[in-house]
Amino acid sequence: MLSLLILVPLAGLLLLNLPFTPAMKRTAWAFAFTVALAQVAMVLVAPAAAWSQQGFLAQYFSFGLEAKDLTRVLLLAIGIVMATTLMVGRSMITDDRQQFNFVNLLLVSIIGMNGVVLVTDLFSLYVFLEVTSVSSFILIAFNRDLGGLEGAFKYLILSAVATVLMLTGVALLMLVAGGTSFETVAAAMKTSGGITISQMAVGAFVCGLFIKGGLVPFHGWLPDAYSSAPAPVSILLAGIVTKVSGIYALVRLATSVFPASGAMNEVLMVVGAASIIVGALAALGQHDLKRMLAYSSISQMGYIVLGLGCGTPLGIVGAVFHLFNHAIFKTLLFVNSAAIEQRTGTTDMNRMGGLGSRMPVTGVTSTIAALSTAGVPPLAGFWSKLIIVIALWQAHDYGFAGIAVLMSVVTLAYLLLMQRRIFFGKTSPEHAGVREAAAGVVVPELVLAALTVAVGLLFPWVLNTFMLPVGGIFH
């Protein structure tokens, strides 16, 4: 069953591009959308047996995939964000051929991301990270405008540096463990996790992941890539790509492969706190909507890493919960920005104002997402931040807990500022004729806003069903 998550998009990609199937090209979007929704459905309703790597396909493909609870949370988020991106893309990319290219690249991206969360081998992890990255480079440069090309090139170079660091780590771990699978490496780390070579290897690998995840001090590429990409691509990048390629890998490896060490946790917490502070303060000073949201992403990613660095099961639960919540509400915020870009043709907040009455759905859903990001009860973001802060408090990291709470206030400040500049005040004459965004954008807005509210209200159920098992697997 698990291999289907990779094989179905791949088979679809090949079929859609066979020369004698031009009629099927028109079904490309529907196919990709079905794949995304099927993935969501699989996580929500599939029985436990479906998650084992057995059955007919396993005889032919020895992929060594594995779906722990953490993976399922990520698969769910990938499905949701992918479906959203497809809907917004359909609404914003009007040219048929362009849309076909776009859908194909999204299928490559979904293969890459599903691979990243399913594999159990360090080198395969690198392979699928690269699949995801290559599709992201192309997607950022999709419109071939200069800004997008620059953003893509910058991302490409930093990503190459990151992969070199990661591969150096893989090679050194191979020296110590004699293999690259998670199991082999984890076993070797139990006996020789403290020696110099292992520490160098883990350090290099983690540094690579910091770059991929856009964490301070390696965040230089992220605002450029996010803000210069076409609107649907920003949704994909901010919503899920950097989370899967940087943060997920970090959580997975730090919790069950690399040796648990105090030094590693210290580094994670310092990097997390630095990301929170730098991201939030930089977001305050932006006037471009997408750049501001990009810095906000860096800041929120900092919370996830801070929770992870806490090292306790509760901290990890908080981190993964926040990872999921952030995927939902940051996707929503970028959909909002796509809606605004679609109607006003700009992302410069100085040229906006008074759009609230023109675009009521966008305005209301944006408020929900902003409040959730800032951690206002009872929305989803509140609970995950609360768990992280409690975990930090229990681990006696009062300073970091203080930073987390204080920066929540800054988050609230810049997001409310954003709301005011865009939706309140006087409508500028150039936007007098602005209407609510197209249905393809409004529907995802409503669904994502409903999800944010529902996860917040049904918090005990979500926590027990999805999140607490994540903490349990590490015992």
Partner 1 sequence: MAGTDTMDTMLDILLVWLLVGAAMATVMTPRILWSVIGLAVTSAVLTILMFRFDSPLAAVFELSVCAGLIPAIFISTISLTQRLSPEGMAERRREKWRRFGLLPVLVILVGVALMQVHIPLDFVAPPAAKETDVRNVLWHVRHIDLVGQIAILLGGAWGVVVLLKERKRAA
Partner 2 sequence: MLPDAPELLSLFGIGVVLTLLVGFYSVLTSQNLIRTLIGMEVLTKGVTLLIIVVGYVVGQIALAQALAITLIIIEVAVIVVAVGIVLCVHKHTNSIDTRDLGNLKG
Contact positions vs partner 2 (CB under 8 A)? 123, 127, 130, 133-134, 137-138, 141, 144, 146-147, 149-154, 156-157, 160-161, 164, 167-168, 170-172, 174-175, 178-180, 220, 223-224, 227-228
* Complex with partner 1: residue 153 or 474, whichever CB lies closer: 153
Q: Which of 128, 205, 248, 466 binds partner 1 (CB under 8 A)?
A: 128
The Cα-based distances of 222 to 113, 225, 310 in angstroms read 18, 5, 25
Q: What is the largest CA-CA distance in the chain?
A: 69
CB of 67 to partner 1, least distance (A): 14
Binding mask 81-120 for partner 1 (x = CB under 8 A): --------------x--x--x--xx--x--xx--x---x-
Cα–Cα distance for residue pair 210/267, rounded to 1 Å: 11
The Cα-based distances of 218 to 206, 274, 297 in angstroms read 12, 11, 14
161: contact with partner 1 by CB under 8 A: no
Cα–Cα distance for residue pair 266/270, rounded to 1 Å: 6
130: contact with partner 1 by CB under 8 A: yes
CB of 347 to partner 2, least distance (A): 13
Q: Which of residues 52-71 bind partner 1 (CB under 8 A)?
A: 61-65
Size of the site for partner 1 (CB under 8 A): 48
134: contact with partner 1 by CB under 8 A: yes
Q: Which of 30, 146, 197, 439 binds partner 1 (CB under 8 A)?
A: 197
CB of 358 to partner 2, least distance (A): 30
Non-local (6+) Cβ contacts of 103 within 8 A are 28, 29, 31, 32, 86, 89
Query: Is cis: bond before 223, omega within 30 of 0?
Result: no
CB of 28 to partner 1, least distance (A): 12
Q: List, as one string, the DSSP characters of 327-339.
A: HHHHHHHHHHHHH
Report residue 279 CA to chain centroid gap.
16
* Complex with partner 2: residue 64 or 220, whichever CB lies closer: 220
CB of 236 to partner 1, least distance (A): 14
Strand partners, 348: 288
By a kind-dependent CB cut-off of 5 to 8 A, residue 185 interacts, out of partner 2, partner 1, none, with: none
The Cα-based distances of 283 to 102, 182, 275, 401 in angstroms read 30, 37, 12, 21
Q: Which residue has the tokens 């959730």?
A: 372
153: contact with partner 1 by CB under 8 A: no
The interface region with partner 1, picked from 28-36, 190-198, 372-380, 400-408 by CB under 8 A, is 190-198
In the three-class reduction of DSSP (H, G, I as helix; E, B as strand; rest coil), residue 67 is classed as: coil
* Complex with partner 2: residue 295 or 459, whichever CB lies closer: 295
- Give, in degrees to the nearest 5, the angle at Cα 111 between 106 and 112: 95
- Tally helices (H) and strands (E) across the chain: 23, 0
By a kind-dependent CB cut-off of 5 to 8 A, residue 438 interacts, out of partner 2, partner 1, none, with: none
CB of 382 to partner 2, least distance (A): 31
Cα–Cα distance for residue pair 448/347, rounded to 1 Å: 21
**Burial zone of 396 (CB within 10 Å; 0-12 exposed, 13-18 middle, 19+ buried):** exposed
Q: Which of 31, 72, 80, 121 binds partner 1 (CB under 8 A)?
A: 121
Interface residues toward partner 1, by CB under 8 A: 6-7, 10, 13-14, 61-65, 95, 98, 101, 104-105, 108, 111-112, 115, 119, 121, 123-124, 127-128, 130-131, 134-135, 137-138, 141-144, 176-179, 184, 188, 191-192, 195-198, 200
